[in-house]
Chain A
């Protein structure tokens, strides 16, 4: 714009500046200010209320010495890796099936996507009921004659996170499928014709031609799933409450519990700073690859 030629630059675009005030306040005060505040106070020994008594890395030492935090991280890693792999694979396979020019495509898509409209609380409670060993799947298989059948993920500390994974996948796969379907629809029909003339089998066309062409969609899907994984909290609260014991804790729940239940603000700040760090480690290289490359 030709702002330089005007004498009163501050008045220029005055309404737009006024209109953008909420955005500026949100960005600067809440997002930047809030984040910096939390990081700074993670070095204090705040308990019930924030205090400016700096204790260096004490909170972090305590955090990494806490078994609850280590279990949280382990759960997040297991949940994260499996939900990323399964959501991508199942989402893509379903999208490929729906893309076969089938009848009732809209009906199938509506059914596969509806869990995404539900909250994690509803999802968690529904699966808590289905996986209930006394009434749910285990009970039914046993009553059919297989007496020794055991499937009680929510009551077994070793596999509880996989029980949560079942519910999480049910909730999110539809979304990934929709994204992938949009990506498949963006592939030129000529590619298919060409590969058919060359006699390339369909699965090879998908694997070596179509998927590489959908790189952007895959990255979007991965970022979407990953940011959802870090936030996973409601699902755990509803489905297991972190139990049995502390076997299904996750970092987001650790932060909430430290801040609002055990009046241990410093731990909450330190844990949330670690969560932030995790996101930075994931997002920065990706942003660099995505946006750094374009400038050249």
Chain B
């Protein structure tokens, strides 16, 4: 965005005046009395817009109010997780802690009970990592090769399979839950982390394939043809031309998959056993377990810990994250 259109669009009240700068005015001696007056009166140029105009107060006021509302849950979670239980019982959830304690965080990580065991969230964290890494790598490899084949090496029926894949993305997961249980049981992977990795790869495929297919289709065809003339085959073009040229889209796909797989709950709870549950399932079991006294500070610390990975990805990746979800949105 350049700064130039700045004037045009917003300042509805003032926009009738074209932008004139000082240089302009000195070059052109006054022709009309109006301009003469302006020159004498003071600096030329657009009317200064006071920052506290009514419009600005409305726009910024609303945005700041909404932003505070959006930040509120995060703030409340952090504040609660740093308080001791006595303070929570008497106090106000919005008040900052009088005495900061990190005990709830330690407990959430290593001692909180899920109903089955009491190793806290750490077990879930490591399970999630073990699920996340292979799922992300496998799904991106498969989807990128698929997308490449669809964009550059169409064969009879390839578009049909692709269409089915995309339509499949709209089928509610619940419809395919049980058939996949049977398939995984048949190959002996039901209840294992490998099985869950396969499930994530399958359900990540439609959107990732679409992402890669569209990206590879936008790579100039001349490059592809030149490589073909030089005798490069399917894999050689993929590894030596397509992959090096498409690193941004690989990053976008990675962001999409890391947040998506980390945040998954349904597949984790259906396809793994309690000691292999991913972090989100573990978290839900800790917080919503009915046994014992509710320790809200530990619960909130656990909640933040679980949200930390996608939040970190989000804040580091910035605009690429937006690009990723925009790409995800095109699936419609």
Q: A interface vs B, CB < 8 Å? A: 1, 3, 12-13, 15-17, 19-20, 22-24, 26-35, 37-39, 41, 50, 94, 97-98, 100-102, 106, 108-123, 125-130, 135-136, 139-140, 143, 170, 174-175, 178-179, 182, 189, 192-193, 196, 202, 219-221, 223-224, 227, 230-231, 233-234, 237-238, 241, 251-252, 255-256, 259-260, 265, 268-269, 271-273, 275-276, 279, 283
Contacts and interface: CB of A to CB of B under 8 A. Distances in A.
B311 A129 contact: no
28 contacts: A16-B155, A20-B149, A20-B161, A23-B142, A26-B168, A31-B171, A34-B175, A38-B179, A50-B182, A110-B315, A115-B70, A118-B311, A119-B262, A119-B280, A122-B307, A126-B300, A129-B77, A129-B299, A135-B93, A140-B92, A140-B94, A202-B12, A219-B332, A241-B288, A252-B174, A256-B177, A271-B174, A275-B172
Given A15-B234, A23-B165, A220-B332, A279 B171 contact: yes
A114 B171 contact: no
A279 B172 CA distance: 8
B110 interface: no
Contacts of A94: 63, 66
Nearest to A135: B93
A119 B149 CA distance: 33
Given A22-B205, A179-B326, A221-B329, 6 more contacts: A19-B148, A35-B175, A118-B310, A119-B307, A140-B92, A238-B284
A122 B264 CA distance: 11
Interface string B74-97: 101100100000001000111000
A253 B332 CA distance: 25
A100 B322 contact: no
A118 B306 CA distance: 9
Main secondary structure of the interface of B (DSSP, over half): helix
Contacts of A35: 171, 175-176
A109 B76 CA distance: 21
B109 interface: no
Nearest to B149: A16
Nearest to B182: A50
A202 B240 CA distance: 52
Contacts of B310: 117-119
B158 A220 contact: no
Given A3-B156, A31-B176, A102 B332 contact: no
Contacts of A241: 288
Interface string B302-326: 0100110011011100100110011
Given A38-B176, A125-B287, A120 B156 contact: no
A12 B153 CA distance: 10
B259 interface: yes
B70 A23 contact: no
A255 B174 contact: yes
A19 B234 contact: yes
B63 A130 contact: no
Contacts of B77: 126, 129
A224 B162 contact: no
A117 B255 CA distance: 10
A200 to B, nearest CB: 10
Contacts of B59: 97, 100, 102
Contacts of A279: 170-172
Interface stretch (B2-10, B37-45, B113-121, B242-250): B2-10
B103 interface: no
Given A101-B6, A130-B93, A26 B70 contact: no
A27 B284 contact: no
Given A114-B314, A259-B177, A26 B326 contact: no
A41 B284 CA distance: 31
Nearest to A24: B161
B170 A227 contact: yes
Contact of B299 (A28, A29, A125): A125
Contact of A114 (B15, B287, B311): B311
Interface of B: 1, 5-6, 8-10, 12, 15, 59-60, 62-63, 66-67, 70-74, 76-77, 80, 88, 92-94, 142, 145-146, 148-150, 153-156, 158, 161-162, 164-165, 167-168, 170-180, 182-183, 201-202, 205, 209, 233-235, 259, 262-266, 270, 280, 283-284, 287-288, 296, 299-300, 303, 306-307, 310-311, 313-315, 318, 321-322, 325-326, 329-330, 332
A234 B307 contact: no
A27 B168 contact: yes
Contacts of B209: 23
Contact of B155 (A13, A22, A33, A140): A13
Contacts of B172: 230-231, 252, 272, 275-276, 279
Report which residue of B1, B5, B155, B183 has the largest number of chain A beta carbons within 10 angstroms of its beta carbon: B155
Nearest to B262: A119
B325 A175 contact: yes
Given A97-B59, A101-B9, A196 B171 contact: no
A125 B283 contact: yes
A170 B73 contact: yes
B203 to A, nearest CB: 9
Nearest to A113: B322
Contacts of A15: 153, 233-235
Contacts of A20: 146, 149-150, 155, 158, 161
A124 to B, nearest CB: 8
A170 B175 contact: no
Contacts of A29: 183
Contacts of A221: 329
